[in-house]
């Protein structure tokens, strides 16, 4: 048998582990974190869109009330002049 072949089949020594080293990254936890962040972003986008729709509705309501009160003010001021 070839001696190089035996050397290749020999089990490798484990490297010493530093007990103070941070834990190795786990891709599954990264995927979960990414999915959680994506869901949070989607929720925030939906909340922002709902807020924008509500603001637009309230601005239209304010414009209508302002126009109504302006018309009422004009009517009252013309009646006072007569």
CA–CA separation, 78 and 57 (whole Å): 32
Average pLDDT over residues 2-21: 77
Average pLDDT over residues 10-24: 82
Give phi and psi for 18, each to the nearest 5: -80, 120
Query: Domains of the chain: which residue ranges?
Result: 35-62
Residue 38's pLDDT band (boundaries 50, 70, 90)?
very high
Question: Terminus-to-terminus CA distance in the chain, angstroms?
Answer: 123
CA–CA separation, 49 and 43 (whole Å): 10
pLDDT > 70: what percent of the chain? 89
CA–CA separation, 18 and 33 (whole Å): 26
Give phi and psi for 23, each to the nearest 5: -65, 150
């Amino acid at each position: 048998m070839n001696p190089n072949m035996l050397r290749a089949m020999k089990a490798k020594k484990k490297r010493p582990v530093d007990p103070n080293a941070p834990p190795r990254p786990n891709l599954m936890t990264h995927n979960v974190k990414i999915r959680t962040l994506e869901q949070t972003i989607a929720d925030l986008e939906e909340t922002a869109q709902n807020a924008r729709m509500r603001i637009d509705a309230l601005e239209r309501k304010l414009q209508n009330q302002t126009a109504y009160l302006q018309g009422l003010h004009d009517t009252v001021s013309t009646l006072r002049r007569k």
